[in-house]
Amino acid sequence: MSAAASAAPLAILIVDDDPIVLRALQRELRDQPLRVDAESDPLAALDRIQPGRYAVIVSDQQMPGLSGIELLARVRSLSPDTVRVLLTGNADMETTVRAINEGEIHRFIQKPWERKDLLRHVALALERHEELRQRKSLSELLLARNDELAGLNADLRRMTQHDSLTALFNRGEFDRQLQRQIKLFRRDRQPFSLLMGDIDDFKRINDAHGHPAGDEVIRTVAAMLRRALRDEVDSAFRYGGEEFAVLMRNTTSANGSIAAERILTMIRNAGVPAAGATLKFTVSLGLGQYGADETAQALLDRVDGALYQAKREGKDRLHVAQLPPP
């Protein structure tokens, strides 16, 4: 219910094709603290129904064109918070069962009515409407809070899984994904490769140009990795400091070498502004395909050794580790 609807005066709609009964109901309810609308045509009454407009509807059962049960059943769909009361001179069991099943009737008022009984039924219907309104408000509040909590949980997951500087996955997420990838390999034997990289002479970059420039270099390398890799297949990580790692799924070292050479070229051609000039930089890469029954640490040690072999060979290059013997 909208704020405007909840703040509006309570209203009740009475529906009866007999004008004498309609006027009598209006007289009975005229001293009540609510607006009373009257309608002799059930189809016209249906046109009046909208969420939040009426707290209660009281309808006669026997009417041409649309019975009270049929009218109240449609009101149930159009405005679930409108409490439905049936006015009937034929309160047999069949009518009662139909009213409960089809219209979820809250109350019955039998003709001819006693005024005190009529007012009591209306008062109880208004109480029921307030219960439904409060329940709906609470439900909407809980849904909003649940959405807010889900958003906070998503933010927390991003914070725990991603590096704040580069938005790449962090070291903890790398360890988790590597272990999962090893389990997948042992199940389906699909190959995967690990690529590790280190920015060349990064200490010199920080010393000569300052840490803000160093951070920009790290962010640029991360951006190049994202551009070079396959979406939803490969995963890039900030392994620590100026070090990066990439899990290349369903990839042999031969195919991984092609991607690694592309990364080297992209980073070699990149640059960041520093002191009115363009700061150029390179990375060294080590690559290794996972070997059967190899531990995560053994794979890391093997690829890390290939990375530092690339450093020793002159930097700005790739060195591929040999697969361990079967």
104 flagged as catalytic: no
Spatial distance between the Cα atoms of 66 and 43, rounded to a whole number of angstroms:
7
Catalytic residue among 39, 70, 173, 242: 242
Spatial distance between the Cα atoms of 170 and 164, rounded to a whole number of angstroms:
9
Three-state SS string across the chain, please?
CCHHHHHCCCEEEEECCCHHHHHHHHHHHCCCCCEEEEECCHHHHHHHCCCCCCCEEEEECCCCCCCHHHHHHHHHHHCCCCEEEEEECCCCHHHHHHHHHHHCCCEEEECCCCHHHHHHHHHHHHHHHHHHHHHHHHHHHHHHHHHHHHHHHHHHHHHHHECCCCCCECHHHHHHHHHHHHHHHHHHCCCEEEEEEEECCHHHHHHHHCHHHHHHHHHHHHHHHHHHCCCCCCEEEEEECCEEEEEEECCCHHHHHHHHHHHHHHHHHCCEEECCEEECCCEEEEEEECCCCCCHHHHHHHHHHHHHHHHHCCCCCEEECCCCCC
Instruction: List residues with catalytic annotation.
Output: 242
